[in-house]
């Protein structure tokens, strides 16, 4: 089987359905991306990379960054401490929903992969100085992806900051009930920066492979995370990595994934491979339409289902 051809054909087949989605515009800078763009890459456990489409294009990882700050919190603070501030439950509410936070008696966000949960998790890293906190997130992103010049996009960060009233509401509410630690404005700044970190589809495939391999980056050979952190992160990706689309993704694709409104999806097939897609046209839940179709196609052809 010529794998490059398999990936290119999956991209061609996804072309039509991609056009049914829409590029995110609530963060104005994201609206500038080409809704027809598509890419896919995978990285196996030996570090072999295969890719097709716009695989070298940089885009902001958005919510995919939530698994990175979660992994950092798990490694530095431990599972018990993380679960004292966020739950491990799926939710059928939108990623930026606020209402359940007030209704629940603990006021804890349901999981670390919705905005409220991710904001709470970053705040937990406040034993670092505010600037050190983001430095640690970007340093870990570099190790997970193997990208040496990893950085965030200033224009997207400023656009997020300007349009981020909903996230501000979440952070200040969480601060009022003592779930968020430290200064909410400084925490939000780091959240906006981590969402604006730029990667290519290939970078995300390597990151997925690192999570699939129990924390060893198969390209660099470095043990970046512990096996237990990877297992927890992969489980959460499976139950809530694509918001209200998580059940649909589990049924259609069959392995853990995490999406971002920048159009990326990262998948981790335990002990087999990392796989990533890019396609900025999104469905109503904020997940890439073309990316999901490509993941489903490749999963079927390469028999990647874990369920």
Positions marked active-site: 63, 66, 191, 243, 261
d(CA 84, CA 98) in angstroms, rounded, equals 19
Q: Does 62 bind ligand GLU (CB under 6 A)?
A: yes
Closer Cβ to ligand GLU, 55 or 242, answer by number: 242
Q: Does 292 bind ligand GLU (CB under 6 A)?
A: no
Q: Does 283 bind ligand GLU (CB under 6 A)?
A: no
Q: Does 96 bind ligand GLU (CB under 6 A)?
A: yes
Q: Does 160 bind ligand GLU (CB under 6 A)?
A: yes
The answer to whether the CB of 272 falls within 8 A of the CB of 286 is no
Closer Cβ to ligand GLU, 62 or 111, answer by number: 62
Closer Cβ to ligand GLU, 197 or 250, answer by number: 197
Give the interface size with ligand GLU as a residue count (CB under 6 A).
11
Q: Does 167 bind ligand GLU (CB under 6 A)?
A: yes
Residues of this chain, 3-22, that bind ligand GLU according to CB under 6 A: none
Cβ at position 227, least distance to ligand GLU in Å? 27
| Locus of tokens 């073309």 | 290
d(CA 243, CA 129) in angstroms, rounded, equals 31
Segment holding 133, helix H or strand E: helix 130-145
Structure tokens at 93: 């509410």
Cβ at position 22, least distance to ligand GLU in Å? 14
Q: Does 257 bind ligand GLU (CB under 6 A)?
A: no
> How many CA atoms lie less than 13 Å away from 42 in the CB half-sphere?
22
| Locus of tokens 């030996």 | 46
DSSP string, 68-131: HHHHHHHHHH-HHHHHTTS------S-TT--HHHHHSSS---S-TTSHHHHHHHHHHGGGS-HH
* Complete edge-to-edge strand list for the sheet that includes strand 151-152: 59-60, 197-199, 151-152
Closer Cβ to ligand GLU, 107 or 193, answer by number: 193
Q: Does 63 bind ligand GLU (CB under 6 A)?
A: yes
Output DSSP code: residue 196.
T
Residues ≥6 apart with Cβ < 8 Å to 158: 29
**Torsion sign over Cα 63, 65, 68, 73:** negative
d(CA 193, CA 141) in angstroms, rounded, equals 13
d(CA 232, CA 240) in angstroms, rounded, equals 12
Contact string (CB under 6 A) for ligand GLU, positions 215-254, x = contact:
----------------------------------------
Phi and psi at residue 74, to the nearest 5°? -65, -40
Closer Cβ to ligand GLU, 57 or 242, answer by number: 242
Q: Does 51 bind ligand GLU (CB under 6 A)?
A: no
Closer Cβ to ligand GLU, 63 or 153, answer by number: 63
Q: Does 69 bind ligand GLU (CB under 6 A)?
A: no
Q: Does 95 bind ligand GLU (CB under 6 A)?
A: yes
Binding residue for ligand GLU (CB under 6 A) from 115, 123, 229, 277?
A: 115
Q: Does 37 bind ligand GLU (CB under 6 A)?
A: no
Q: Does 189 bind ligand GLU (CB under 6 A)?
A: no
Residues that bind ligand GLU (CB under 6 A): 62-63, 95-96, 115, 160, 167, 195, 260-261, 286
């Amino acid at each position: 089987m010529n794998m490059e051809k398999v990936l290119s054909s999956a991209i061609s087949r996804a072309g039509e359905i991609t056009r049914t989605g829409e590029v995110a515009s609530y963060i104005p800078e994201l609206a500038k991306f080409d809704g027809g763009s598509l890419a896919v890459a995978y990285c196996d456990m030996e570090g072999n990379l295969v890719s097709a489409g716009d695989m070298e294009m940089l885009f902001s990882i958005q919510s995919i960054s939530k698994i990175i700050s979660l992994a950092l919190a798990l490694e530095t603070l431990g599972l018990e401490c993380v679960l004292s501030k966020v739950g491990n439950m799926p939710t059928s509410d939108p990623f930026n929903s606020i209402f359940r936070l007030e209704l629940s008696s603990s006021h804890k966000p349901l999981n670390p992969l919705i905005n409220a949960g991710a904001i709470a998790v970053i705040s937990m890293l406040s034993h670092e100085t505010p600037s050190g906190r983001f430095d640690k997130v970007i340093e870990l992103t570099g190790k997970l992806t193997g990208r040496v010049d990893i950085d965030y996009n200033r224009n997207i960060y400023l656009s997020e900051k300007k349009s981020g009233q909903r996230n501000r509401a979440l952070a200040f509410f969480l601060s009022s009930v003592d779930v968020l630690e430290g200064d909410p404005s400084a925490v939000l700044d780091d959240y906006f920066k981590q969402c604006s970190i730029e990667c290519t589809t290939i970078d995300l495939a390597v990151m997925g492979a690192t999570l699939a391999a129990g924390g060893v980056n198969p390209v660099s050979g470095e043990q970046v995370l512990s096996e237990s952190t990877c297992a927890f992160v992969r489980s959460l990706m499976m139950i809530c990595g694509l918001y209200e689309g998580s059940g649909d993704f589990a049924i259609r694709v069959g392995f853990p994934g995490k999406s971002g409104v920048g159009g990326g999806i990262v998948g981790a097939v335990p002990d087999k491979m990392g796989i990533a897609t890019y396609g900025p046209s999104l469905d109503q839940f904020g997940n890439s339409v073309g990316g999901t179709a490509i993941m489903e196609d490749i999963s079927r052809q390469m028999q990647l289902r874990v369920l």
